[in-house]
Amino acid sequence: MSKLAIIKEFWEFLKARKNWILAPIVFFLLLLGLLIVWGQGSAAAPFIYTLF
């Protein structure tokens, strides 16, 4: 199963179940994960870690 298929299936789940509260939660978790991955190897790491 490709990553795109997982996203499509999640979107279909949200549409079918009308469970829209999950969308911002998942978006925030993905954003936080990207911030952590990006911050590990960059010069901005000390500034990112002060946010948490």
| pTM for this prediction | 0.54
Residue 44 has what pLDDT? 67
Q: What pLDDT was estimated at residue 33?
A: 85
pLDDT score recorded for residue 6: 83
Sequential pLDDT tens for the chain (52 residues): 677 888 788 888 888 888 788 888 888 988 888 877 776 766 766 776 677 6
**What b/e readout covers 30-41, taking b as 16+ CB neighbours within 10 angstroms?**
eeeeeeeeebee
- Residue 52's pLDDT is 66
